[in-house]
Homo-oligomer: A and B are copies of this chain.
Amino acid sequence: MAKGYGQVCPVARALDVVGERWTLLIVRNLLQGPQRFQDLREQLAGIPPKLLSDRLRVMEEQALLTREVYSERPPRATYALSERGRQLGLIVGALATWGRPFVPRRGGPTHAECGHRLELAHYCPHCDARVDAASIRVALAPGAPADTRRRARVGREASGARRRRAAFRR
């Protein structure tokens, strides 16, 4: 595994797991359905086989995918995302949305069921409104330096207020 950031922050923790080169492209391809090693190797033009096999092993250890052996000799397996791995579609979709302007046409995430293009939006239940990407904050967590902890605490209090209001509505 790569060196982690050692930060108690959901962004840093997510990147500890999927931040290494190639990992999210493997996820992108496995979102299409289970793949054999050779399939992945061909699709991910340029990935050294040893690196692909390392990434798949680590992803299996992290429970992001499962490996099913279909031939013992020679050893052959298919790889399929676990439920937790499929939820990485959220991150892959966000990358595809942001990266859309870089590709000539019809890049971006699509809906598996109907093939149409998806929108990705943050939504604030408190304000009952869609939230622009520029208004998204991720509070620094306890364990971060003192100055940043203060910000995180403000975030927690606000969130407690929301819980109370949510309870109130029920």
Contact = CB atoms under 8 A, between A and B. Distances in A.
A43 B137 contact: no
A33 interface: yes
A9 B44 CA distance: 11
Contacts of A50: none
Contacts of A140: 43
Contacts of A28: 9, 11, 138
Contacts of A6: 45-46
Interface residues of A, number: 95
Nearest to A111: B124
A152 interface: yes
A155 to B, nearest CB: 3
Contact of A159 (B102, B116, B123, B157): B116
A90 B124 contact: no
Contacts of A156: 32, 105-106, 115
17 contacts: A9-B99, A9-B103, A10-B100, A11-B92, A15-B25, A19-B19, A32-B152, A33-B155, A43-B151, A92-B138, A94-B120, A110-B139, A110-B158, A111-B122, A111-B127, A115-B155, A115-B159
Interface of A: 5-15, 17, 19, 21, 24-25, 28, 31-33, 39, 42-43, 45-46, 81, 83, 86-100, 102-127, 131-142, 144-145, 147-148, 151-152, 154-159, 161-163
